[in-house]
Amino acid sequence: MATRLTLPKTYCPLLDSRETEAAIRRIKTYFQENLAFELNLMRVTAPLFVQAGAGINDDLNGVERPVAFPVKALGESRVEIVQSLAKWKRLRLADLGAPAGSGIYTDMNAIRPDEDLDNLHSLYVDQWDWERVITRQERTVDFLKVIVRRIYDVIWRTEKYICHQFPVLDPQLPETITFIHAEELEARWPNLTPKERELASCREHGAVFIVGIGGALPGGAPHDGRAPDYDDWSTPTYHGYRGLNGDIVVHYPLLDVAYELSSMGIRVDAPALLYQLALRDALNRRDLFFHRRLLAAELPLTIGGGIGQSRLCMFYLHKAHIGEVQASLWPQEMVDDCRDHEIILL
């Protein structure tokens, strides 16, 4: 397992352990209530695991291994711990018969054993997964931007709120978010890696939404990986660009990194699904449960994504490591190095 660690030269937690736990509770309560109001979402209960081989689990970049195990009571059939709920949420919205303009959100807890561990990445992933039904006319980049602005406004307001509750904290976010396409980033900084381009853009703007993640850029490689069967990263949008998805990324001064808070997008319709499956040589997935229902027009058109809970808490509370706001497992060397620099992992 690969590990990377950044140790700020001078670091002292601004909140002690008790204050940190109290602040985490306030953040999570305030944020989810505001998100639900802003996007007209209803909270639902989500599964921790799903049936293997049904096409419901998220494939992420296609290389991460889900945690799986046989279940005695189900005839030893295998189930998988969810990696995200991107596809499950569309199935749930179909079952609920949710109308356009309404949606759901839930707490998603995942285990990603192949994660490279560092200040921002953990074996344990906790996020708010949300999904909202849209109309055919709303499958546009302009509507995507409307939703991004609403989510970012909740992120910005929550930071103002928690800084008011704990005056030792100072707000870091700009009031508005800047939109830029991954192709524009590549054209401006062709000699940088995608992550280096993100950092350069975040240093310049403070908060950016990078549109079009998953499809190949003019340079030949994608900005980042995306599975072919949830986000629509191939539909033409404007000025010849492709993609109806993206990431909210902000600058985190403490570590001087591009700090991803959310991945989201308009989801594939039937034509986009078939096109993207063909691009990834994965048309065999058409026979899976989720894909059959989508191709049969049994699932609504949606927009959705995930927003990192521990990521938000770490950012708002000016922590140097995500292990300061969530309980997980870390290599002993990392634990020792962190302790030597006043970073106490839970």
- Residues classed as catalytic: 58, 112, 127, 247, 260, 263
Answer positive or negative: Cα dihedral of 49, 54, 56, 62.
Answer: positive
What residue has token string 């996020």? Answer: 127
In terms of Cα–Cα distance, which of 209, 309, 204, 203 is closest to 256?
Answer: 203
Give CA–CA dist 292/295, Å, rounded. Answer: 5
Take residue 164 and report the two structure tokens written for it: 């008011």
| 3-state SS class at 180 | strand
Helices 309-316 and 17-39, packing angle to 10 deg: 120
The residue ranges of DSSP E strands in 229-277, in sequence order, are 245-252, 257-266
Sheet containing 178-181: give its strands across.
Answer: 41-43, 103-111, 124-133, 302-308, 257-266, 245-252, 207-211, 178-181
Give CA–CA dist 192/201, Å, rounded. Answer: 12
- For residue 283, give the DSSP letter: G
In terms of Cα–Cα distance, which of 218, 236, 249, 245 is closest to 315?
Answer: 249
Under a CB-based contact definition with an 8 Å cutoff, are residues 311 and 119 in contact? no
